[in-house]
A and B are shown apart, each in its own frame.
Chain A
Amino acid sequence: MATPLTPTSDSDRTDVVDPRDAAWIKLTQFDWEGTRSGADSATRVSVSALVGSVFRPAQGPHELGRLANFRILDILGQGGMGLVFRAEDVQLQREVALKILLPASMRDPQARERFLREARAAAGLSHDHVVAIHQVGEDQGVLFLAMSLLRGQSLEEWQRRQGPASWPRVFRLGRELLSGLAAAHAQGLVHRDVKPGNLWLEEPRGRLKILDFGLAWNASAMASTTQEGVRVGTPEYMSPEQMGGSPVDARSDLFAAGLVLHRLATGRLPFAGKTLFERMAAMASQGSPSVREQRPDAPPELDQFIRKLLELDPERRPAHAGEALAEWVAIETGWLTRQQELGTSAESLRQAAEVPVGAARPGVVPDPLPASTHESRSLHGPRRRVALLLGAAGIVAVLAILGFLTVPQWLADRASVASVTTPTPTSAEPAEAADEPAGRRRPRPGDGLPEQEARFERLGRCPDARVTEASALIASRRQAGLYWTLTDANNPPHVFALDLTGDLRGAYVLEGSVNVDWEAMTADRAGHLYIGDVGNNHMRQRTRVV
């Protein structure tokens, strides 16, 4: 275990230029001895002391120290339960955001085990709209998580400057939020602290990433070992059942998503109040708030849907984000269709849905860990100085290779119809091409290879809504005819069998199976199914399709 640090006084801080020696971190909830500090009695801890107590000694001039297989390079920020560093995985030679959990918060063995178990479950979540956790581990008593190092800004920061979002942006961000939540809920994960500060807009077009799945629960579990009465979540975005300390499920996340979407559409949060009690009273008196009351041009279906998410009774909300996502997409598709009928081009709608995110502001990083009972924190004082220092150091972007937008179904339908007999398109990457000056086009994958006309037809849609991201498709030629089997990388490992000889109404889910991250599979002539497990860098599963 790391040596507890002694809190320093406010007068100790100085203007600094060297983050190794004199950067200060403002811890708003816990100090290193495990006692909780109030929001207005923050504790400051010097980075140099932290480095000496937690990390192994530095092995080079440009690092703060070592932990497990990581070279600690800079501090990025702080949160309720720990600190976030920019670090390099020396084995994979890639930079990550490394979250270090405060040892004092981890003294209870059961809480530690629970944290590791749930963090590993969250690490198994692979989705375009959920930040990837690469590694969860423990070294010298310090629990850590290695996550993708993101570049961009949080939705909270973006919205503070931008105010209400345009409807294309509301629809797009809402779809991406619900899509990420749907993938998590399908795995039994509940976020418990959905808020704009935990939603990241990734450069350059603002692809939304949800941060910190599963960690709020753990924060609660561990906090409860040192204090009583902690509620998980951020008060402004708590559901009524969270406020009341009742058990929460996916529907609580949907209430928070409703608050996020309401604020995105109107620029304001409903249920105003300075205290938790005032907000609870506002909920009781106002009922489900309307977006149209503040923004009359809101699409009525959108307004009704957000109100449905904000129902005080969880039974009246969608059961989980997958259900909400299906409804959202239907509303979005209808709205986009109407806009096009009114003369707005698909391209302009697509561009309008983008959220340009400029260079990351200095030191802006994902909210490291969920707050428990505190108000949203602002970047000021010593933390701002740390941020400025970090800006000079620069943040290397996470591999942003696939920053394409998810295309609404009606656009895909149009594409398939238009392309059945047309020559090879010149712009297969509209999201990329939109930024290119006239007459220039960014190189795309596949450029340089001989191309042929693509002649294809659209067959229909897999009817099972649980398939959120198909990852592989194989033909199973069996006695009953020709079936198609696909796996879904983001859901619990299901195999879906489709009968393409009919009208796609037959879909069968082979339940059970094994807990692996499926992205590759094939079948041999005997009907054995071979499945690759990418998560553990092993190709290890061989199953038989029944």
Chain B
Amino acid sequence: MPTEPPQTTTLPTPVPMVARFGFTSERVFDSETLFFHQGQLFMISKEREPGRTELYRLPLDQPGGERPLERITTLAPELMLIADGAVSPDGRRLALVCRHFAAIYDLPPGPDLEPLGQARPRLHRFELFKIEGCDWEDDQHLIMIGEDRQLYRLRVD
């Protein structure tokens, strides 16, 4: 355990924006996670009205312009309140965290993610803390951060 106070270093270099992509939608979306799969960028939106979790593909072929969102499918209704998600380093699993649980999907081998709409992810449910972010440490371990800045490691078999 550390004995000294935590150190925070502020780096002087900003995070520059190198390109901008615009996307439009007829529906109001609330992007909660972005992830790459098979070279394609996907986004999951928490749409509270009417309360659905939608998967979109974001074409990245038009920097500076605007493209309509390409809706792929609606995810399981149990996934309302999604907060973040990530694809495992081997590209085989997608983890979505929804405040009090992590849902693990097996990703299809190809770029088409429409089958996720029918898939039933496995849940790992937690007590008491609220998860806001996640990513994979390796193919079996998911790192999560809670709303209270607490970090957790979840083993996923």
A-side residues, CB < 8 A to B, are 92-94, 399, 401-402, 404, 406-407, 409, 411-412, 414-416, 418-419, 424-425, 427-430, 444-464, 467, 469-475, 482, 484, 486-487, 495, 498, 500, 503-514, 519-522, 524, 528-534, 537-546
- With a CB–CB cut-off of 8 A, which chain B residues contact A505? 2, 4, 6-7
- With a CB–CB cut-off of 8 A, which chain B residues contact A459? 143, 151-153
Q: How far is the CB of A180 from chain B (nearest CB, A)?
A: 14
Q: Are A456 and B4 in contact (CB under 8 A)?
A: no
Q: How far is the CB of A133 from chain B (nearest CB, A)?
A: 16
- Which residues of B37-65 are within 8 A (CB) of A? 41, 43-44, 48-49, 58, 63
- Which residues of B114-157 are within 8 A (CB) of A? 120-130, 132-137, 143-155, 157
Q: Are A445 and B151 in contact (CB under 8 A)?
A: no
- Cβ-defined partner of B100 (8 Å) among A429, A534, A546: A429
Q: Which residue of B lies closest to A455 (CB)?
A: B155
Q: How far is the CB of B104 from chain A (nearest CB, A)?
A: 8
Q: How far is the CB of B6 from chain A (nearest CB, A)?
A: 3
Chain B contact residues (Cβ within 8 angstroms of A): what range? 35 or more
**SS class, residues of chain B in contact with chain A:** strand
- With a CB–CB cut-off of 8 A, which chain A residues contact B125? 424-425, 428, 446, 451, 454
Q: Are A520 and B34 in contact (CB under 8 A)?
A: yes
Q: Are A522 and B123 in contact (CB under 8 A)?
A: no
A467 to B69 Cα, complex, angstroms: 31
A504 to B48 Cα, complex, angstroms: 35
A508 to B124 Cα, complex, angstroms: 30
Q: Are B151 and A460 in contact (CB under 8 A)?
A: yes
| Most chain B CB inside 10 Å of its own CB: which residue of A424, A430, A522 | A522
Taking A482-B137, A486-B145, A504-B151 as contacts, is the C-beta distance between A544 and B15 under 8 angstroms? Answer: yes
A545 to B16 Cα, complex, angstroms: 8
Q: How far is the CB of A510 from chain B (nearest CB, A)?
A: 5
A530 to B23 Cα, complex, angstroms: 13
Q: Are A92 and B15 in contact (CB under 8 A)?
A: no
Q: Are A511 and B34 in contact (CB under 8 A)?
A: no
Q: How far is the CB of B101 from chain A (nearest CB, A)?
A: 5
Say if the beta carbon of B80 comes within 8 Å of chain A: yes
- With a CB–CB cut-off of 8 A, which chain A residues contact B35? 522
- With a CB–CB cut-off of 8 A, which chain B residues contact A447? 78
Say if the beta carbon of B107 comes within 8 Å of chain A: no
B-side residues, CB < 8 A to A, are 1-2, 4-25, 28-36, 41, 43-44, 48-49, 58, 63, 66, 69, 76, 78-81, 83-84, 86, 98-103, 120-130, 132-137, 143-155, 157
A35 to B148 Cα, complex, angstroms: 48
- With a CB–CB cut-off of 8 A, which chain A residues contact B135? 473-475, 484
- Cβ-defined partner of A475 (8 Å) among B14, B78, B137, B146: B137
Q: Are B34 and A530 in contact (CB under 8 A)?
A: yes
- Cβ-defined partner of A451 (8 Å) among B58, B79, B98, B124: B124
* A-B residue pairs in contact (CB < 8 Å), sample of 19: A399-B48, A402-B99, A425-B126, A445-B101, A447-B78, A451-B124, A454-B102, A473-B84, A509-B9, A511-B11, A511-B13, A513-B14, A514-B17, A519-B31, A529-B15, A538-B22, A541-B17, A543-B18, A544-B15
Q: Are B126 and A456 in contact (CB under 8 A)?
A: yes
Q: Which residue of A lies closest to B15 (CB)?
A: A513
Closest 4 CB pairs of A and B: A512-B14, A463-B6, A473-B133, A532-B31
Q: Which residue of B lies closest to A512 (CB)?
A: B14
- With a CB–CB cut-off of 8 A, which chain A residues contact B1? 503
Taking A92-B49, A445-B99, A446-B100 as contacts, is the C-beta distance between A474 and B86 under 8 angstroms? Answer: yes
A487 to B135 Cα, complex, angstroms: 13
- With a CB–CB cut-off of 8 A, which chain A residues contact B18? 528, 542-544
- With a CB–CB cut-off of 8 A, which chain B residues contact A407? 128-130, 148
- With a CB–CB cut-off of 8 A, which chain B residues contact A540? 20-23
- With a CB–CB cut-off of 8 A, which chain A residues contact B132? 469-473
Q: Are B79 and A446 in contact (CB under 8 A)?
A: yes
Q: Are A506 and B7 in contact (CB under 8 A)?
A: yes
A425 to B63 Cα, complex, angstroms: 46
- With a CB–CB cut-off of 8 A, which chain B residues contact A507? 6-9
